[in-house]
Structure 1
């Protein structure tokens, strides 16, 4: 099977292994985008690197694929998109990337591992809408959706437009220049800064692998706190040598739309941007 054959590429030296990992990751990403992955910025997850490592070293990829399936579900990727991504990896390993990645051509054990993990994570998120994301300590996107619903219901009762009372502050970190542990550390630092600056009852949530958001009330000092957030994140990235390559985070204030449905759609879009 192609996944096991890739293990013959392993050379046992750190430099060779690192090169093989980068090459496999780049080829997989290109094949996945060509197969229809919709949001290039959210493709790269730490679990992708784990899968690449298992392939290059010749290890059984089942555990790594289980982690990838769960991570894809948590990040908002649909099952069809997740399985097509897996098919892209299989096409790379089989040397058939000249043709469209075919899910039906992917070995059943790999499909089963990813599909079951994706479904398990998706159902778990559905049943725990108020959960906290472990890495950042911020709330999940599902919890933010619940809070948005409460804001819109309160607005309807009081006759006030949520756009006049609340804003969504969105922090986006460009993680394209790093991989593995530094990616995790970057978002953990973002979570720390948000909790430090917005400590007055605001709703803090992680929306995607490189996106976090704050649902805050409009008021004096909001612009200053937003600017402080951006400066603190950049400052903490500079302290860590592995994170100095990152660009300054993008921070913007999003006006809430008129309808709750539009607000929920906006959260979905921000998480996949």
Structure 2
């Protein structure tokens, strides 16, 4: 399946188009994992579906890849990993059964569009330190890192260890088999539940396409609130037919490490879990 020129489209009914989209997405995913994509749960961002739709419609692929590059940077994927994913896409477009992508075969126009967009977003994240993520209404990972730094500085000044007082409550949802709007809706529902349950000044942040976290004090009914969070998310998923088959969230409590550097590394790890 070669990359189509703008204006060239597949002919067929809606069912046929849906099948093409699903097949392309599945082949691309397999090839990307074979190329070394490290975290399966964060591969299927909405921009993946945008790229697939662009290919099937024969529209402007570099423009869609720009959106994908920015999304990859925002979710923490490195440039090497992002370009390997692009090579996987190109490989299956050229040869549907390809499983071993060749990065050197990707056209320069596609490489340029993806790399420049990735760099744009990566540099933008350096200056966006206190923003709110629009979809979920939760804080960005950058803001959570700022709050963690404040907690450790307060601990040094007051003579207490944040590891003894604070934890990260992590909420992870398996969205690896969910695509498009339902995937977005799932995280929006997670954000709604977290704001409802943790309404006492805790820091709530989205860390990745399927992971959110709460910086909270130990005790204060934390176990009960974690259980309520799990129950409410499962109930709200159950109401939506597109999410009904999605498993309930994985909720766990991570104690903060002794050092701020280790705590920041923990945030990075959780964002890619």
Give the alignment's TM-score, normalised by structure 1.
Answer: 0.95
> What is the CA-CA distance between 1:208 and the residue it aligns to?
0.6
Whether 2:225 is the aligned partner of 1:218: answer: no
CA–CA distance in structure 1, aligned partners of residues 119 and 95 of structure 2: 29
> What is the CA-CA distance between 1:158 and the residue it aligns to?
2.1
Whether 2:176 is the aligned partner of 1:163: answer: no
Matches within 5 A, 1:109-148: 109-148=109-148
Q: Please tell me whether the aligned partners of residues 165 and 218 of structure 1 are also in contact (alpha carbons under 8 angstroms).
A: yes
Distance 1:7 1:182, change over 3 A: farther
> What is the CA-CA distance between 1:97 and the residue it aligns to?
6.1
Matches within 5 A, 1:48-87: 48-87=48-87
CA–CA distance in structure 1, aligned partners of residues 14 and 97 of structure 2: 27
Q: Which residue number corresponds to residue 21 of structure 1?
A: 21
Distance 1:255 1:31, change over 3 A: same
Q: Which residue number corresponds to residue 193 of structure 1?
A: 193
Q: Which residue number corresponds to residue 261 of structure 2?
A: 261
Q: Which residue number corresponds to residue 176 of structure 1?
A: 176
Q: Please tell me whether the aligned partners of residues 42 and 208 of structure 1 are also in contact (alpha carbons under 8 angstroms).
A: yes
Structure 1: which 4+ aligned runs deviate by more than 3 Å?
5-9, 96-100
Matches within 5 A, 1:232-251: 232-251=232-251
CA–CA distance in structure 1, aligned partners of residues 219 and 157 of structure 2: 21
Describe the SS at the equivalent of 1:214: strand
Over the aligned positions, Cα root-mean-square deviation in angstroms equals 1.8
CA–CA distance in structure 2, aligned partners of residues 140 and 220 of structure 1: 25
Q: Which residue number corresponds to residue 207 of structure 1?
A: 207
CA–CA distance in structure 2, aligned partners of residues 236 and 40 of structure 1: 24
Tell me how many residue pairs correspond in the alignment. Answer: 273
Note the residue ranges of structure 1 that are not aligned, 5 or more in a row: none
Per-residue Cα deviation, 1:166-189 (whole angstroms, up to 9, x for no partner): 010000111123210000000001
Note the residue ranges of structure 2 that are not aligned, 5 or more in a row: none
Q: Please tell me whether the aligned partners of residues 7 and 55 of structure 1 are also in contact (alpha carbons under 8 angstroms).
A: no
